[in-house]
Structure 1
Amino acid sequence: MFFKLPHSSVLYQYFLIILCLSLTSCELKNQKVIKRTQFIMGTLVEITIQESDNDLAQHAINKSFNEMSRLEKIMSTYLPNSELSQLNTLARRETKITVSSDLLKVIQRGVHWGKLSNGAIDITIGPAVKLWEFNAETPTLPDADKLQEATSFIDYKNIAIDGSSVSLKKTGMSLHLGAIGKGYAVDQAIGILKKMGVKSGLVNAGGDLMAFGLKKETEAWHIGIQHPRKPEKIIASLDVRDKAVATSGDYQRYFIKDKVRFHHILNPKDGWPENQTMSATVIADTVMDADALSTALFILGPNKGIGLINSLEGVEGMILSKLGSASYSSGFRNLPGLSL
């Protein structure tokens, strides 16, 4: 058996299939590129900004990392005292639990995308995720009967929201925000950088990223999408300015048993990893939406998934099947600076 986590090897693996191209040449007049990394929310987060005032830059980066750490303590299911863990423990038998504004926003958006994707992304997938134990030192396959039972608790329609209160209609349900929470954290980090006066930067949380401002005086940030099996190969590159990019892939967190790859992107319908897709990338206005939609696209596959992306304004996407064939949304080829 072989097990792989995104923090187990060389640096490019931290960034999955999204990486910034030629950052070392990113200099505006009188500005320096300042870059720092920190391990948060189960992945390596890199913040890169351009700023002439080093003290301001360091302070802004510190505040952004602190905000992401704060949100991790709210939304992580791996921290027993997190707000989400407490919600999962207490919000049973329709007990209403008042939640923070951050957690409420993410849950509401998760329900929204659950509806639009017909359950391809479902934040009530917690019972199935728990059985897989991808963070274990030696992961094993879950018991099939237990996994089938777990799927009976998966249904976003059983989340009840009343003002700032949340309840779960079925005992045994639990929420898991892995497909959306990290994106929200990146959005908030970007907001802090902008609020503090940073004009140009990029925040990359394990392949979920947003770039704002210009890398050079007249040039946007340029990012590349790596091949999930051949990290040295770029399958697409494009300019990104004030846009979010997120990728879901079967290589990010997985193990191999009997020559079969078992990864962390579970189909809510049966609790097993979706095995028809290698990676899915979405470009949207917020990282939270791009994060959620890349998961939905991955689960739905080329036909239904691209159909969903095409139905959304301001959203583009591409998907790579397990056979290596790529499919694109209707406007993907018109993205600025695109090279395929």
Structure 2
Amino acid sequence: MGTVFSFDVRDRPTTAVREALDEAVGWLHHVDAVFSTYRRDSEISRIARGDITVSDCPPEVAEVLALCEAAAAATDGWFTHTPGGRLDPSGLVKGWATERASQILYDAGARNTCVNGGGDLQLRGEAAPGTPWRVGIAHPLRPGRILTVVTGRDLAVATSGTAERGHHILDPHTGLPAMGPASVTVTGRHLTHVDAYATALFAMGPAAARAWTRAHGGYQTLVVTSADDVWQSEHFPAADDKWRARGGT
């Protein structure tokens, strides 16, 4: 998927967990083979060319496309899997694949894990007994600095912005690069949704992102504008000892 995945397992490394790690890695390679828009032989590329239909594909293709439709509806079309008129569900696939990899580990008995898909995380359980996970959020305008630290248990965290890849998110209504805020971080329970919503809220822009968050209580948001103004929703899970609204150390 053009990015790096990592697994942090805090449980005892049983044989079942080790086998689940192998299965999770195999799953991610399978997802890449099916959904990559860069591989001509992937099912998604073949659908886009009209060579096959969804009914000819593994069942997860229909599942992902249905999830994309639901995300589009939940964001009034600001999330799309047809940017510029071409089929590309990448805005949802990475989060969905990461969450599924996390579930594979959980089903094998690993209760305290962090699966990181290109900087977007599905967290389960705790980092240590009685200690929540702590996730540093990079400042999008100040390279090498941490804006805040998110803490929590059984949490998903996703960030969309321009710091790493420039203006790569398209405005679905114009087909042009979205000139949104510097970054949007969204937290919730499931990375499948959190990752897609972070992309949509970035495309919306700061004001609409704030309004959307207030209307969807299951998600919390941190927005950094291109002018370095910072807004966080009321229950955004930032650690008080690290929070620096103006980009502390």
Task: Evaluate the alpha carbon distance shift between residue 273 and residue 219 of structure 1 in structure 2; reply closer, same or farther with a 3 A threshold.
Answer: same
C-alpha distance in 1, partners of 2:193/2:51?
A: 26
Could you say what secondary structure the match of 1:191 adopts? helix
C-alpha distance in 1, partners of 2:229/2:35?
A: 35
Equivalent of residue 20 in structure 2, options 60, 65, 70: 60
C-alpha distance in 1, partners of 2:56/2:51?
A: 10
Which residue of structure 1 aligns with residue 122 of structure 2? 210
Larger proportion of strand: 1
C-alpha distance in 2, partners of 1:57/1:49?
A: 9
Which residue of structure 1 aligns with residue 112 of structure 2? 200
Is 2:184 aligned against 1:280? Answer: yes
Q: Which runs of 5+ in 1 are unaligned?
A: 1-40, 129-152, 154-173, 255-262
C-alpha distance in 1, partners of 2:168/2:51?
A: 25
The alignment covers a number of residue pairs equal to 242
Report the CA distance between 1:190 and its aligned residue. Answer: 0.3
Which residue of structure 1 aligns with residue 78 of structure 2? 120
Task: Write the deviation string for residues 245-277 of structure 1: whole angstroms up to 9, x where unpaired.
Answer: 0011112223xxxxxxxx211111222222231
Could you say what secondary structure the match of 1:184 adopts? helix
C-alpha distance in 2, partners of 1:98/1:274?
A: 34
1:115 maps to amino acid: A
Report the CA distance between 1:337 and its aligned residue. Answer: 3.7
Which residue of structure 1 aligns with residue 44 of structure 2? 84
Q: Is the 8 A contact 1:249 1:280 kept in 2?
A: yes
Which residue of structure 2 aligns with residue 179 of structure 1? 91
Which has the larger displacement, 53-62 or 99-108?
53-62
Identity of aligned residues (%): 27
Q: In angstroms, what is the RMSD of aligned CA positions?
A: 2.0
Could you say what secondary structure the match of 2:29 adopts? helix
Which residue of structure 2 aligns with residue 245 of structure 1? 157
Which residue of structure 1 aligns with residue 216 of structure 2? 312
C-alpha distance in 2, partners of 1:187/1:210?
A: 6
Could you say what secondary structure the match of 2:4 adopts? strand
Report the CA distance between 1:57 and its aligned residue. Answer: 4.1
Task: Write the deviation string for residues 203-226 of structure 1: whole angstroms up to 9, x where unpaired.
Answer: 111121111111111011111111
Is 2:13 aligned against 1:109? Answer: no
Q: Is the 8 A contact 1:124 1:176 kept in 2?
A: yes
C-alpha distance in 2, partners of 1:304/1:320?
A: 13
Could you say what secondary structure the match of 2:49 adopts? helix
2:70 maps to amino acid: H
C-alpha distance in 2, partners of 1:286/1:91?
A: 33
Could you say what secondary structure the match of 1:63 adopts? helix
Q: Is the 8 A contact 2:123 2:153 kept in 1?
A: yes
Q: Is the 8 A contact 1:248 1:279 kept in 2?
A: yes
C-alpha distance in 2, partners of 1:106/1:116?
A: 15
Q: Which runs of 5+ in 2 are unaligned?
A: 244-249
Report the CA distance between 1:319 and its aligned residue. Answer: 1.1
C-alpha distance in 2, partners of 1:91/1:283?
A: 38
Q: Is the 8 A contact 1:87 1:97 kept in 2?
A: no
Is 2:239 aligned against 1:330? Answer: no
Report the CA distance between 1:56 and its aligned residue. Answer: 4.1
Task: Write the deviation string for residues 87-133 of structure 1: whole angstroms up to 9, x where unpaired.
Answer: 112279xx7744432122221111112122222111111xx3xxxxx
Report the CA distance between 1:55 and its aligned residue. Answer: 4.2
1:286 maps to amino acid: H
C-alpha distance in 1, partners of 2:2/2:186?
A: 21
